[in-house]
Amino acid sequence: MRVVVVGAGVVGTMHAWQAVERGHEVVQIERETEARGASLRNFGQIWVSGRAGGEELDTALRARELWEGIGARVPKLGFRANGSLTPVRTASELAVAEAALARDDAAARGYKLLTPAEARAVNPALRGAFEAALYCERDAAVEPRTAQLALKEALLASGRYTFLGGREVREVIGEHAVRDDHGDVHTGDAVVLCTGAWLGGLVRELVPDLPVRRVRLQMMQTDPLGEALTTSIADADSFRYYPAYRSEALDALNAGQAQTPTAAAHKMQLLMVQRADGGLTIGDTHEYEHPFSFDVVEEPYEHLKEVVEGFLGRPLPRVRHRWAGVYAQCVDTARVVHRQRVRDGVWLVTGPGGRGMTCSPAIAETTANELGW
């Protein structure tokens, strides 16, 4: 088969990977010279711990398995099975962690509740004060700024892959074909549109009532920490945003322990992962109402700095990058992704939200299976 993939973010690239792995020829078209969207502006986390039970968790676990296999073949991905720790500081936060341990799928996630001494044995950089920490063994990480380039390099080596950057697809032509802004028509046995947060133009023409929204976030990255942060780190505010932690204990936390005004105003949680150069990627905020702000706001960064320094028990290294990003999320957030045939032979796959980096290999595998590749 000949497969045309539109979009070179992680979802599109994993569709290209699946097609090449199954022996097909792939043409991948990207409107930028290289991907520049949410697939690069994220934590690089394969985040199993907070996923909803059922389909979402199954997808994340399968994707985690696929990531590990691809990482073994493509070392430049920087895949590492680092796990995560969520330190808790209050009795109500501890109760949410204990409720997570009582889930039927806790073992599949690799949940364990650690004492401070046990948590520091896993991650010695945590020198601050906390009462316990929820450990998730199945969480992992890759290098988001270079992952697409590493995958592209491996795909090019197959001899069955062509990358066309700097071309925006403007039109679907009949069946199995698209026209780009150079006037070139690209025809295949299947066309998969993985357009990420680009939901206007062609996407709006194809699906005017697409049940997908855009979400904006703010993040930052520091100079090298000077020591290993051996796991990813979250704070207890993440309990409020991830469906795995929904419980009566979480209801009690929300009712009795308010977020700080800054965290509440910007719908914040702490997530933190160390990059290959030793720096820390730290975030994030959530903005849902359009039009989005055009600037970044300083107060969330100050809040994150305070939380991180409390866990590390030391000053944060100099912040060297601050940025905003936008991703696409299904309006029904219980859905893992929006997958729709928009024309004969043409499929749209978008809206994984903050699950894109985690789930993209399994999302692409499902598409390939459903399309009979």
CATH code for the domain of 310: 3.30.9.10
Closest CA to 76 of 157, 144, 159: 144
Instruction: Flag whether 104 is in a domain.
Output: no
Closest CA to 63 of 293, 327, 367, 333: 367
Distance CA(96)–CA(240), nearest Å, equals 10
Per-residue pLDDT tens digits for 121-148:
999 999 999 999 999 999 999 999 999 9
Instruction: Flag whether 144 is in a domain.
Output: yes
Per-residue pLDDT tens digits for 11-22:
999 999 999 999
Instruction: Flag whether 101 is in a domain.
Output: no
Q: What is the pLDDT of residue 174?
A: 85
Distance CA(67)–CA(71), nearest Å, equals 6
- Amino acid in the structure at residue 232: S
| Same domain flag for 235 and 314 | yes
Q: What is the pLDDT of residue 364?
A: 98
| Same domain flag for 313 and 227 | yes
Region 18-39: what's the mean pLDDT? 94
| Same domain flag for 37 and 155 | yes
Q: What is the pLDDT of residue 175?
A: 86
In the predicted structure, residue 39 carries a pLDDT above the cut 90? no
Region 251-266: what's the mean pLDDT? 96
Residue 188: how many CB atoms within 10 A of its CB? 21
Instruction: Flag whether 11 is in a domain.
Output: yes
Instruction: Flag whether 286 is in a domain.
Output: yes
Q: What is the pLDDT of residue 114?
A: 98
Instruction: Flag whether 97 is in a domain.
Output: no
In the predicted structure, residue 101 carries a pLDDT above the cut 90? yes
Strand order in the sheet with 319-330: 111-114, 132-136, 84-88, 232-234, 271-274, 280-283, 212-222, 319-330
| Same domain flag for 255 and 365 | no
State the residue range of the domain holding 276. 121-128+212-330
Region 197-215: what's the mean pLDDT? 95
Region 146-169: what's the mean pLDDT? 97
Sign of the torsion angle spanned by Cα atoms 117, 121, 123, 125? positive
Q: What is the pLDDT of residue 56?
A: 97
| Same domain flag for 274 and 301 | yes
Q: What CATH number is associated with residue 352?
A: 3.50.50.60
| Same domain flag for 69 and 155 | yes
Token code pair at residue 240: 């409020």
In the predicted structure, residue 360 carries a pLDDT above the cut 90? yes
- Give percent of the chain above pLDDT 90: 97
| Same domain flag for 261 and 326 | yes
In the chain, how many domains are there? Answer: 2
Q: What is the pLDDT of residue 36?
A: 86
Region 61-84: what's the mean pLDDT? 98
